[in-house]
């Protein structure tokens, strides 16, 4: 940032709100962090939609107060279900060109999302996946690395795409790509299912490096090794 | 022994059913027929208990009760798988219903706030 842009033109320096991109956030019991995530996003994007998946801790109100459009599931259905609802809502909005899937727990960086969006626009990619393994900013720890790399292997095996990361919640989708998604996996297996369905669209795709912020908070909520067995089972069983 | 082949084939078929097949009217018909056959078979075996042991011997098992146990285990597994599939289908229907409700509500809210912003509409 050079001197000219600092003091005088604080508002003008903001590169204008993005009205054609919808941020979609599945929300479940993240009351302590969701407001921060939403208000930061609203600094760049006009449209932030949270699907509250039956939270019991006031997350929906927190997101609403922060300025997000909040949709509410009547009961807890799972992250995949919430994501699908959010996508269905967003693609139906007039003027929606891109959708960015974002996690509610504050582990993603907006700068990464902006960079991915720029790539999607410049390189005419319909799908840009975020990957924490393309640079060395993220250090997931050895156990999590093993779990994730196994998930990557399974995903690549079943989807035919060659990704370097799996279960990364940060993705940029064109409205066209997003409208072809129909997630059936209500729980965590949707992260593989979404790659599978996007792969089948044959639309141009890319992968961009992102940093995943492992706070103590997100670590405490992370996927356990045992839960990956559940994911595998959900994927194998029809 | 013949029974080993029969049991292995039965278990593999159940595993295949779990992984691949989607429930259909044909499967329902097959299941109902199996129940029907089980009732007939049960009555026959009750009337002449010796028959069960003869059948067991024919497939390589010593006692009729053992054949009954094996049959019971296979039937139970089939039930578990069928029930699992049915509950999966139900929960998918439930999700779709909840999603429709959520989207309808959102649409209504959007419409109300749009009219609030443009009272002339």
Has residue A2 got a pLDDT over 70? no
* Mean pLDDT of the A230-234 span: 77
pLDDT, residue A224, reads: 63
Has residue A8 got a pLDDT over 60? no
Instruction: Please give the residue range of the domain that contains residue B34.
Output: 2-17+27-115
Are A74 and B95 inside 8 Å of each other by CB?
Answer: no
Are A85 and B99 inside 8 Å of each other by CB?
Answer: yes
Q: What is the mean pLDDT of chain B?
A: 90
**Between 3.40.50.300, 1.20.1070.10, 3.90.550.10, 3.40.50.150, what CATH number should domain A3-236 receive?**
3.90.550.10
3-class SS string, A119-137: HHHHCCCCEEEEECCCCCC
Has residue B121 got a pLDDT over 70? no
Nearest to A74 among B20, B22, B98 (CB): B98
Q: Which of A151-160, A193-202, A209-218, A224-233 has the lowest mean pLDDT?
A: A224-233
Residue B39 in any domain: the answer is yes
Are B19 and A85 inside 8 Å of each other by CB?
Answer: no
- Most confident segment among A126-140, A152-166, A217-231: A126-140
Give me the interface pTM, i.e. the ipTM: 0.81
Evaluated on CA atoms A167, A168, A174, A179, the torsion sign reads positive
- Taking CA–CA distances from B110, the nearest residue in chain A reads A69
Residue B94 in any domain: the answer is yes
* Mean pLDDT of the A151-171 span: 84
Separation CA A210–CA A109 (nearest Å): 8
Angle at A165 between CA A98 and CA B92, to 5 degrees: 65
Has residue B89 got a pLDDT over 50? yes
Strand partners, A72: A52
CB A140 within 8 A of CB A166: no
pLDDT, residue B80, reads: 93
B101 touches chain A (CB under 8 A): yes
Residue B121 in any domain: the answer is no
Task: Give the pLDDT confidence of A73-105 residue by residue, as tens digits.
Answer: 999 999 999 999 999 999 999 999 999 999 999
Chain A, 169-188: which have a CB under 8 Å from a chain B CB?
184, 186
Are A71 and B101 inside 8 Å of each other by CB?
Answer: no
Strands (E), A67-203: 69-72, 98-101, 127-131, 171-174
Task: Give the pLDDT confidence of A9-60 residue by residue, as tens digits.
Answer: 344 445 688 999 999 999 999 999 999 999 999 999 999 999 999 999 999 9
Task: Give the pLDDT confidence of B19-33 residue by residue, as tens digits.
Answer: 877 777 788 888 889
B26 touches chain A (CB under 8 A): no
Residue B22 in any domain: the answer is no
pLDDT, residue A176, reads: 95
User: Which residues of chain A lie closer than 8 angstroms to B93, CB-CB?
Assistant: none
Q: Quick one: tokens of A73?
A: 């599931």
Query: Domain count of chain B?
Result: 1
């Amino acid at each position: 940032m050079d001197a000219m842009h600092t003091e005088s033109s604080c508002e003008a320096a903001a590169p204008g709100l993005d009205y054609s991109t919808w941020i979609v956030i599945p929300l479940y019991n993240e009351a302590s962090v969701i407001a921060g995530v939403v208000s930061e996003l609203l600094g760049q994007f006009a449209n932030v939609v949270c699907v509250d998946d039956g939270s019991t801790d006031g997350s929906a109100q927190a997101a609403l107060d922060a300025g997000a459009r909040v949709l509410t599931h009547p009961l807890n259905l799972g992250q995949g279900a919430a994501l699908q609802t959010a996508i269905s809502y967003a693609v139906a909005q007039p003027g929606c060109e891109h959708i960015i899937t974002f996690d509610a727990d504050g582990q993603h960086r907006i700068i990464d999302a902006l960079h991915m969006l720029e790539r999607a626009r410049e390189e005419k990619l319909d799908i840009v996946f975020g990957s924490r393994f393309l640079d060395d900013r993220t250090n997931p720890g050895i156990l999590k690395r093993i779990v994730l790399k196994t998930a990557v292997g399974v995903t690549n095996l079943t989807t035919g795409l060659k990704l370097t990361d799996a279960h990364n919640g940060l993705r940029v989708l064109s409205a066209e790509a997003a409208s072809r998604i129909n997630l059936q996996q209500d729980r965590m297996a949707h992260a593989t299912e979404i790659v599978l369905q996007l792969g089948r669209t044959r639309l141009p795709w890319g992968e961009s490096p992102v940093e995943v912020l492992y706070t103590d908070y997100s670590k405490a909520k992370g996927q356990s090794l045992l839960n990956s067995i559940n994911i595998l089972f959900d994927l194998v069983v029809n | 022994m013949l029974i080993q082949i029969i049991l292995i084939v039965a278990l593999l078929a159940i595993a295949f059913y779990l992984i691949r097949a989607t429930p259909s009217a044909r499967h329902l018909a097959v299941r109902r027929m199996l129940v029907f056959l089980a009732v007939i078979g049960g009555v026959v075996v009750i009337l002449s208990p010796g028959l069960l042991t003869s059948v067991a011997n024919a497939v390589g098992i010593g006692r009729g009760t053992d054949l009954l146990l094996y049959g019971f285990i296979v039937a139970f597994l089939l039930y578990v798988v069928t029930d699992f599939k049915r509950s999966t289908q139900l929960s998918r229907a439930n999700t779709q219903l909840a999603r429709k409700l959520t989207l309808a509500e959102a649409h209504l809210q959007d419409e109300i706030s749009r009219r609030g912003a443009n009272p002339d509409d």
